[in-house]
Structure 1
Amino acid sequence: MNIMKTLNLNFFLLIATVLLFTTACEDDQLMVDNPSNGDVQFERFVSGNPQVVLGASPDADGNTFLTNRTLDSDTCYILNQFVRVPSGVTLTIEAGTTILGRTGTLSGDPATGIPPGTLIIERGGKIEAAGTAGNPIVFTSEQENPAIGDWGGVVILGRAFVNLPGGEGEIEGIPEATGGDNGYGGTINGDNSGTLQYVRIEYAGNVLVDGDETNGLTLGGVGSGTTIDHVQVSFGADDGFEFFGGTVNASYLIASRNTDDDFDTDQGYSGKIQFGIVLRDPNNFSSLPTNGFESNGDSDDASGSFTNATFSNFTVIGPIKPGSTAAVNSAYRSGALIRDGSELDLFNSIIVGFPVYQLELETTADFGSAVQVEGTTIVFPTYGSYTASFSNVAPATYLTSGYNNEIGNANNSGVGQTTTGTLPQLTGLKVAAWSLTAPDFVPHTEKSSDFSNSLLTAGFFDTSVDFRGAFGASSEATEGTDWNIASWARF
């Protein structure tokens, strides 16, 4: 009998031990001393294994991987300062892996302080991060109480065309003094920097000084051989996604609650992107004008090849919520800002909720050839304190026969569905689309698509979808999309 009691006690102790060591990496923490620098660091456990610090000591690879390496899903990893994957080396990250970014002390002076944890894929290096809908790969903050801009983000540098003198540049936000190859650009437009699929990047972005930042996901000269789909960037200190030149295509992208622009394209970026979401938080904004899209050439220099990105099926939701008449911060500006040197084209999308402009052209443009906007619903909040309008283009131009656009000024009931009754639903969206924690982007009233433009028939775009915006009104399966948003995204 005593033997049985002993066996039972040992069994329960074994179960308790297993439960302790199979917690997620953001759970139970063990605080240990780090004798190398006298600091205190946190060790967390996944499936019985402590986390591994990448970058500065104690990781054997130091801050640059010398050979191919795989990050296992049963281990948590910390990015400590700049962690580099150089030319000829591949970093593979298993589905379900969590990588924590460590906070640095850089502030205003790129030459001083400790850089934040940042993953840098250099030209010729590769990242193979193929998560799944059920097991996404998560890059997030190491902090127990994470905050915007806790760490540096993910930077991928490739060898495709960029509109810069000599065709190459040094990526911003990473001081040259840190060593490594910070260059990007070249002549290999089909360059392959690897794969990002079902990936979340949270609380990233580092602002050294205004105009010198890393973003949630920074892409410099990344080529079309690279695969990017199902990626969410949220709570970023600067842009969500920034494309410095390059030719990479992408799909199923989410930018949520970042502080600056959500999709920033410049330096001749010429890729194609279909299915995207912008969700703005009225309390998160930068010191600079904050937009959904911002597109530039090269510092407003129109020489060379223009930025000529093509976007389709985006739902862009600004900070002004249906029914709210409270003013939003003056940092908020436009749903889409297209500057000199850019010929960004936008199709089959919905833009609403920005206080100044929904669509802003920096100078008078030749609509229909330089900048094309078709099959798109643009709704201006014009109630309460809001007097949003167009910039440098007459609304009537966008209503010209053949463009299939819908333009409207919304009262507070016309922005989104507020009752079950019939209302002038100019966007077709539900009020729940503005929810910051449980958004529902499936529209109440579906708006039809228009794929007649030749830019959309080049083989990349799925032209079978019959709706504008990121979602149709029916279930995802019958609409031909593959979001799986409830399985991998987090708001």
Structure 2
Amino acid sequence: MKSLKFLSAATLAAVMLASCSSKNAPTTPKPDPGNSSTVDIKGNISSNQTWTKDKTYRLRGYVYVENGTTLTIEPGTKIVSNKDSAGVLIIYKGAKLMAKGTASNPIVFTSAEKQPAPGDLGGVVLVGKATGNGNHGVLEGGVDAAHSAFGGTDDADNSGVLQYVRIEYAGKAVNPGDEVNGLSLYAVGKGTTIDHIQVTRGLDDAYEFFGGAVECKYLIAYNCADDDFDMDDGYHGKIQFAVSVKDPKFTDAKTGGDLSNNFEVDNTNGKISYATTPITHPILSNFTAIGPNNATGTSTDYGYNMRFRRGSQVVLANSVVLGGQKAGLVVENGETQVGYAEGKSMFYNSLMNSVTTPFYAKDGGKLYSGTVNLDSLTNATLQTLTTTGYKTQLLASADAAGLTDPFNNAKPNLIPKSGSLALSTAGKFDVSDLNNQFFTHTSYVGAFDGTNDWTQGWTAWNM
């Protein structure tokens, strides 16, 4: 450094400027010398990077994008993982992931194995600064202590953009109940843009929302082993236009009476009070959810289309929900049942058919609150409340909804037929927060309008 005193003032300023700016200048990782097209990614990313579509990026173990850093991924880029390390990409608090794929050039996270299997990839994790209720103290899945905290007070927090992204063969089980999901969203704020995502053949949940207020559209969960849409820790965001399709033969290892469901929504896990605020209160509309429908070889670990429990308050509206194995709608625990009876939670203006027990009031008790005074909520009273008060239609058969081929798992066709009940049942956006400007008002229920298939071009099936 002594030689700097001989430089001109202008030259010295230029050197210092270059030194300061290089930390945040976008860079592209260098390829592995052994393979000019594959780049190994490991450890911490603390300066801005751009991953380009002319290379393949291989995640080696846990990769952390640090606070203040932006990772940009070009359309058409492939990110892979081998089963020996099950790579996990974690976008930590204050960092951003700018993954803007397109319908013709999606960004794909997948297995690098010749014979891919669930768990080859760990998953994608976004960590934000939005509010939650503290149900989980740290991130699940073996994340290091320096990156384990999540959440804050900023519901408008922005973790970046994910558009036209596929996440395949994900899931990392560190311990029972301690896993990485396909897409994990920890206290992610509504400044984040998430749309056109497909999570396929995951070993655990497709999507799990741990608190936060993020708003999403056009999500697909396809053939994942546990729950497709798992929400807890006070998640209070919105989702519209989404698909959940189950492989009848594929579930993960179960402990403690767990089951695989299309939806599993909790407020807390019971270690803290079910009444802890903020309450898990997602507002969901225009889902098409397909359960096993008692297909040959259906796993005994399949449970319900919808499991609302542990004090959660869920609004699921304008949807088509078919093929629940052990039950269709389960409203579980007295605290959850009070919220459902009061209209804080509801399965609204939708179509449903299940294999058995369409309405199941589970593990209830005496219900007393300011507006509800019931000895208990029975299956019969839950059915009456839902079909009469909340305007949902219980169908005599799954075919009555009029979807084209929903139970063809290899190539499900969820488009409603012309003249079908799904098309002729107008969406209703007149309760709770469904009148919010986030929601597109539809003349139909379910995820599709009968004409436009928003899955075309960027998705992958028969996996």
TM-score greater than 0.5 by the shorter chain:
yes
Matches of 1:468 and 1:453, distance apart in 2? 16
Separation in 2 of the partners of 1:53 and 1:380?
A: 46
Superposition deviation, residue 484 in structure 1? 3.0
Residue in structure 2 matching 1:429, options 394, 398, 403: 403
Matching residue of 1:5: none
Q: Which residue of 2 aligns with 1:295?
A: 265
Aligned partner (choices 411, 419, 431) of residue 453 of structure 1: 431
**Counterpart residue number, 1:216:** 182
SS in 2 for 1:442: strand
Q: Please report how far the alpha carbon of residue 409 of structure 1 lies from its aligned counterpart in structure 2 after TM superposition.
A: 3.7
Are 1:472 and 2:459 an aligned pair?
no
Hey, which bits of structure 1, 4+ residues long, moved more than 4 A? Answer: none
Conserved 8 A contact 1:133-1:484 = no
Contact 2:111 2:120 (8 Å CA) reproduced: yes
Q: How far apart, in 1, do the equivalents of 2:89 and 2:447 lie?
A: 29
Report the equivalent of 1:307.
280
Q: Which amino acid aligns with 1:468?
A: V
Deviations 1:225-261 (A, max 9, x none): 0000000001000000000001100000000000000
Match of 1:319 in 2: 292
Cα offset, 1:328, TM superposition: 2.2
Q: Among 220, 241, 245, which residue is 1:279 paired with?
A: 245
- Deviations 1:133-152, CA, capped at 9 Å, x for gaps: 11000000111110011121
- The structural deviation recorded for 1:174 is 2.2
CA contact (8 A) 1:159 1:222 kept: yes
What are structure 1's unaligned runs of at least 5 residues?
Answer: 1-31, 35-42, 44-48, 56-62, 105-114, 382-386, 417-424, 477-482
Offset, 1:456: 0.9
Q: What whole-Å deviation, never above 9, does each CA across 1:107-166 have from its counterpart, x for those lacking one?
A: xxxxxxxx521101011111000000110000001111100111210011001011117x
Q: Could you tell me which residue of structure 2 aligns to residue 260 of structure 1?
A: 226
**CA-CA distance at 1:197 after TM superposition:** 0.2
Determine the structure 2 residue equivalent to 1:388.
357
- Which amino acid counterpart does residue 407 of structure 2 have in structure 1? W
Match of 1:420 in 2: none
Alpha-carbon contact 2:346-2:386 (below 8 Å) kept: no
C-alpha separation between the residues in 1 aligned to 2:459 and 2:33? 35
1:238 matched to 2:204: yes
Confirm or deny: 8 A CA contact 1:398 1:405 kept in the other structure.
Answer: yes
1:458 Cα deviation after fit: 1.4
Whether the aligned pair in 1 keeps the contact of 2:119 and 2:203 (CA below 8 Å) is yes
User: Is structure 2 residue 394 aligned with structure 1 residue 398?
Assistant: no
How far apart, in 1, do the equivalents of 2:233 and 2:432 lie? 24
Secondary structure of the 1:398 match is: helix
State which of 61, 74, 78 in structure 2 corresponds to 1:94: 74
Distance 1:225 1:175 in 2: 25
CA distances 1:198-217 after superposition (whole Å, capped 9, x unpaired): 00000001111221000000
* Distance change in 2, residues 1:213/1:291 (3 Å): same
- Matching residue within 303, 310, 327 for 1:340: 310
* 3-state SS in 2 of match to 1:397: helix
State the alpha-carbon separation in 2 of the partners of residues 484 and 374 from structure 1: 24
Preserved contact between residue 404 and residue 450 of structure 1 (Cα < 8 Å): no
Q: Superposition pairs for residues 22-421 of structure 1, below 5 Å? A: 43=35, 49-55=36-42, 63-104=43-84, 115-164=85-134, 169-176=137-144, 180-286=146-252, 287=254, 288-300=258-270, 301-302=273-274, 303-320=276-293, 324=295, 326=296, 328-364=298-334, 365-366=337-338, 367-381=341-355, 387-392=356-361, 393=379, 394-400=382-388, 403-410=390-397, 415-416=398-399
* SS of aligned partner of 1:485: coil
| Cα RMSD for the two superposed structures | 1.8
Counterpart of 1:437, as a letter, is A
Number of aligned residues: 395
CA distance in 1, matches of 2:91, 2:116: 24
Deviations along 1:50-72, one digit per CA (max 9) or x if unpaired, are: 110111xxxxxxx1112100000
Query: Contact 1:169–1:185 (CA<8 Å) still a contact in 2?
Result: no
Q: Output one character per residue of 1:347-394: Cα deviation in whole Å (capped at 9) or x when no partner.
A: 00011111111110112413352311211111122xxxxx33311143
User: For residues 320 and 87 of structure 1, what CA distance do their matches in structure 2 show?
Assistant: 45
Distance 2:190 2:45 in 1: 24
Identity among equivalent pairs (%): 37
Matched to 2:448, the amino acid is: F
The one-letter amino acid of 2:349's match is G
Write the mapping of 1:432-443 to structure 2, written as runs, cut at 5 A.
432-443=405-416
State the secondary structure of the residue aligned to 2:433. helix
Q: Secondary structure at the match of 2:104?
A: coil
Q: Give the residue type in structure 2 aligned to 1:460.
A: F
Partner AA of 1:77 in structure 2: Y
In structure 2, do the counterparts of structure 1 residues 64 and 397 end up closer, same or farther at CA, with 3 Å as the change threshold?
same
Query: Contact 1:81/1:102 (CA < 8 Å) preserved in 2?
Result: no
Contact 1:353 1:379 in 2 (8 A): yes
Superposed CA deviations along residues 167-205 of structure 1, whole A, max 9, x for unmatched, are: x831000243xx542211111111000000000000001
